[in-house]
Amino acid sequence: MAESSATATVGEIIVVQRPRRADAARNFDALLAAAREAFAENGADASLEDIARRAGVGIGTLYRNFPTRRHLFESVYAEEVNALGKVAADLAGDPPWQALTTWLRRFVDYTITKKAVRDALNGESDIFLACRDSLYESGGPLLRRAQQAGEARADMSFDDLLRMVSGITSAAFLDADQRDRVLDIALDGVRVRR
């Protein structure tokens, strides 16, 4: 990775790596999507050969884009955080409570990738700091807007909210429906009823 410091923004990390040629960029994007899917299914132990197969490319193409397993993990993680930032921007005009809960549901999907990456890297990556900052910059305003509208508790911080949701997603559930029900129950505790 050309730049992997805490001072780099998440967007810069991906932009530095992404090839400029259209066919190479398509392969890069396909590999990221395939890796995200494989990590969600198999965690940190996902096979690189399986990822290349899912992306419809050879293993050599994977290694040209991501010279090490660590590069792939960090890139997938950064791409997930970038996607959360885009979701937050897209939700800026939605009603405050709806925007916040839509973003949080997307955050739940992100936590699956985060866990696989954290397990693989043992938390030893500068990228985590840049990603954390990006998450707070994208999601924090959504909570503040919901609080200002009187729809979310004023006595909680964005850090409180993310810890609550992260705690829920770290639990074992029978299925995604049960996880979503538990999340709904928790969010009822955040919402202010008039």
Q: What's the pLDDT tens digit per position in 121-143?
A: 665 667 777 778 888 999 999 99
CA distance 154 to 160: 11
Distance CA 100, CA 91 (A): 8
In eight-state DSSP terms, residue 150 is T
152 DSSP β-pair partners: 191
What's the structural domain count of the chain?
1
User: What pTM did the predictor assign?
Assistant: 0.79
Q: Is the pLDDT of residue 33 over 80?
A: yes
Q: Looking at the domain assignment, is residue 28 inside a domain? A: yes
- What's the pLDDT score for residue 1? 38
Output the pLDDT for position 88. Answer: 94
* Residue 5 in domain: no
Which range marks the domain in which residue 185 is found? 10-190
Q: Which of 14-18, 52-56, 188-192 has the lowest mean pLDDT?
A: 14-18
Measured CA to CA, the distance from residue 112 to residue 118 in angstroms comes to 10
| Tokens of residue 6, six digits | 């805490």
Distances (CA, A) of 138 to 89, 143, 145, 166, 168: 7, 10, 12, 17, 21
Structure tokens at 23: 């066919």
Other Cβ atoms less than 10 A from the Cβ of 188: the count is 9
How far is it, in rounded angstroms, from Cα 32 to Cα 4?
Answer: 17
Predicted pLDDT at 83: 87
Q: Does residue 148 belong to any structural domain of this protein?
A: yes
pLDDT given for residue 51 in this prediction? 96
Q: Read off the pLDDT of residues 65-113 as tens digits, 9 standing for 90 and up.
A: 999 888 888 888 888 888 899 999 999 999 999 999 999 999 988 887 7
CATH code for position 169: 1.10.357.10
